Amino acid sequence: MSVLKSFDLTGKTALVTGAKRGIGRGMAEALASAGADVVGVSATLAPGSEVEQAITAMGRTFTPYQVDFADRSALTAFAAQLEADGIKPDILVNNAGTIKRKPAAEHPDDWWDEVIEVNLSSQFVLSREIGRGMVERGHGKIIFTASLLTFQGGITVPGYAASKGGIGQLTKALANEWAGTGVNVNAIAPGYIATDNTEALRADEARYSSILERIPQGRWGTPEDFGGPAVFLASSASDYVNGEILVVDGGWMGR
Ligand X SMILES: NC(=O)c1ccc[n+]([C@@H]2O[C@H](COP(=O)([O-])OP(=O)(O)OC[C@H]3O[C@@H](n4cnc5c(N)ncnc54)[C@H](OP(=O)(O)O)[C@@H]3O)[C@@H](O)[C@H]2O)c1
Q: Any idea which residues carry the catalytic annotation?
A: 160
Closer to ligand X by CB, 9 or 188: give it. Answer: 188
Residues lying near ligand X in the complex (CB under 6 A) are found at 18, 20-24, 42-45, 67-70, 95-98, 118, 145, 147, 190, 192-193, 195-198
Q: CB of 175 within 8 A of CB of 184?
A: yes
Virtual torsion, Cα 7, 9, 13, 17, nearest 10 deg: 40
Coil, helix or strand for 220? coil
Question: CB of residue 71 vs ligand X: minimum separation in angstroms?
Answer: 8
Closest distance of CB 187 from ligand X, Å? 10
Q: How far is the CB of 252 from ligand X (least distance, A)?
A: 10
CA distances to 59, 77, 152, 185, 253 from 158, in Å:
42, 30, 11, 26, 20
- Residues forming a β-bridge with 117: none
77's enclosing H/E stretch is helix 72-84
Which value, in Å, is the radius of gyration of the alpha carbons in the chain?
Answer: 17
Q: How far is the CB of 202 from ligand X (least distance, A)?
A: 10
Which of residues 51 and 182 has its CB atom nearest to ligand X in the complex? 51
Torsions phi, psi for 196 (to 5 deg): -60, -30
Given 3-state DSSP classes, what are the helix, strand and coil percentages for the chain, each rounded to the nearest 5?
50, 15, 30
- Residue among 220, 99, 107 at smallest CA distance from 164: 99
SS (H, E, C) 136-193: HHCCEEEEEECCHHHCCCCCCCHHHHHHHHHHHHHHHHHHHHHHHHCEEEEEEEECCE
Q: Which residue lies nearer to ligand X by CB, 151 or 182?
A: 151
Cα–Cα distance between 219 and 189 in angstroms, integer?
A: 17
Is the Cβ of residue 232 or residue 252 nearer to ligand X in the bound state?
Answer: 252
